[in-house]
Structure formats: C-alpha cells, structure tokens
C-alpha cells in the first residue's frame, strides 16, 4: 500500500481543512490519498461508549431522515459521496470538497438540495449520480465497509490519516493551509509520527 487513507465526516470543519490540505498534496505533490468515511454521530453515540472497536449502533442501520439533523444529514452526505465515487477519483474529490465547502464555508445544511448543488458544481453526471443514489443497499454496504475499517483502526475523530507505513493519527488544525505551505505542514505531521520518541499525543491546553 502506497496511499494514505484519510477518514473524514462531512460534519467536521477539521476534516474539511484536512481534505483541502490532502487535495493540494495530491494535485501538486504527487501524493496519493484514499477517501474513507468515519461517522462522528456513530463514534459518539452513547450505545457505542463501551468500545471504539466494537460499535453496537451503526449509522448504516438507520433509516433515511431518522434521528437528529446531524445524523440524517451526515448519512445522506456519506451515501451521496459513495455515489459520487462511482464516477472516478477526481469526480469524487471534486464532490467531497464542494460539499465540505458548502457546509463549512457557506454554512449550508446537508440537505438533498445542498447535495445536488455540490454534484452539479463538481461536474458529475447528474442522472448517473441519482441512479447510483437509488441503489441504497449498495451505497450503505460501501459506507459500512468504511465505518468497520475505522472501528478496527480505532479512529475517534476526523481527519484521521493512515500512512502507508501504518501510522494512524487524528490531525486537527484550525487554519486553512495555503497551498505553498501544504508540503511543509504535511512533513511536520509525518515527522511527528515517525519520530523515534514514539509520540502519541500533542494536544493544546485551552485557557480559561
């Protein structure tokens, strides 16, 4: 495996910044990333408090539109993203970024209208997108694979990057990284994970 996996949730502003960073790295620096889904609603669900690794409550078992707005919206967005993925890697990145920007830059809710607008912006074949969305069981199965892999890895937040060498870590930063600083920022993160000190956590304290 030579790709870095990145687990993300459309609900998460840090995932948005992480994917913007990864997109620069893949377009301008030849790195490869595989997009995968982790659900914050599932990860933080009280029924799953026992173990990060053995979810009892699965987002993929919930009906469309059920639960909180975050639950319904994130399920809808994940399934749409799985549908977009069927149109190729570049189309999928374009869709995911369009939807993340709509949510976190423009403060749109993850409604069917927002999803359709993102699909249009990303230049997807819209009739194919709708048809792939109709195959709900197949999209849910794909999402379930991602959620199961995330549980196995112990993902707890997004974005979490899994390097080809196996290092896996949540990487949360508050500022969008300018394209000119993307590689340096990425190398810093990788250096932390590869340090001989076996760094497990760097986490800021928040003042009162």
Task: Assess 68 for contact with a second copy (CB under 8 A).
Answer: no
* Among residues 28, 89, 152, 165, the one that binds a second copy under rule CB under 8 A: 152
Helices 126-134 and 112-121: crossing angle in degrees, nearest 10, is 140
Q: Which is nearer to a second copy, 64 or 148 (CB)?
A: 148
Q: Which is nearer to a second copy, 70 or 168 (CB)?
A: 168
Phi-psi region of 7 (alpha: psi -120 to 50; beta: other; left: phi over 0): beta
Q: Which stretch binds a second copy (CB under 8 A): 41-49, 77-85, 136-144, 176-184?
A: 176-184
By CB under 8 A, name the one of 64, 154, 164, 165 that touches a second copy. Answer: 154
Q: Smaller CB distance to a second copy: residue 40 or 80?
A: 40
Q: How far is the CB of 161 from a second copy (least distance, A)?
A: 10
Is residue 206 at the binding interface for a second copy, with CB under 8 A as the rule? Answer: yes
Min dist. Cβ of residue 118 to a second copy (A): 25
d(C-alpha 178, C-alpha 176), whole Å: 6
| Residue 156 found at the interface with a second copy (CB under 8 A) | yes
Angle at 118 between CA 89 and CA 173, to 5 degrees: 75
Q: Is 165 in the site for a second copy (CB under 8 A)?
A: no
Strand, helix or coil for residue 38: coil
By the rule CB under 8 A, 201 interacts with a second copy: yes
Beta bridge partners of 188: none
**Least Cβ distance, residue 21 to a second copy (angstroms):** 8
- Residues with Cβ within 8 Å of 25's Cβ and at least 6 positions away in sequence, in order, are 31, 33, 182, 183, 186
Tell me the CA end-to-end span of the chain in Å, nearest whole number. Answer: 44
> Which residues, in sequence order, are bridge partners of residue 8?
37
64-72, 118-126, 131-139, 151-159 -> range binding a second copy (CB under 8 A) = 151-159
Using CB under 8 A, which of 117, 172, 179, 183 touches a second copy? 172
> Collapsing DSSP states into helix, strand and coil, what is residue 142?
helix
Instruction: Please count the CA atoms within 13 angstroms of the CA of 170 that sit on its side-chain side.
Output: 16
| Footprint of a second copy (CB under 8 A) | 17, 52-54, 151-157, 160, 167-175, 177-178, 181, 185, 188-189, 191-193, 195-208
């Amino acid at each position: 495996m030579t790709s870095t996996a990145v687990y993300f949730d459309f609900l998460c502003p840090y995932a948005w910044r992480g994917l913007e960073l990864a997109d620069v790295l893949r377009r301008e620096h030849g790195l490869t990333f595989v997009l995968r889904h982790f659900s914050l609603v599932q990860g933080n669900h009280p029924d799953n408090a026992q173990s990060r690794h053995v979810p009892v409550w699965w987002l993929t078992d919930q009906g469309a539109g059920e639960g909180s707005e975050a639950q319904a919206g994130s399920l809808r967005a994940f399934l749409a993203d799985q549908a977009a993925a069927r149109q190729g890697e570049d189309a999928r990145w374009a869709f995911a970024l369009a939807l993340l920007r709509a949510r976190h830059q423009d403060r749109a809710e993850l409604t069917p209208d927002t999803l359709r607008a993102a699909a249009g912006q990303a230049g997807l074949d819209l009739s194919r997108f709708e048809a792939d969305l109709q195959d709900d069981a197949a999209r849910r199965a794909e999402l379930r694979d991602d959620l199961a892999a995330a549980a196995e890895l112990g993902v707890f937040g997004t974005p979490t990057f899994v390097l080809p060498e196996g290092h896996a870590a949540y990487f949360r930063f508050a500022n969008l990284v300018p394209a000119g600083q993307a590689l340096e920022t990425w190398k810093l993160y990788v250096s932390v994970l590869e340090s001989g000190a076996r760094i497990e956590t760097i986490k800021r304290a928040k003042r009162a």
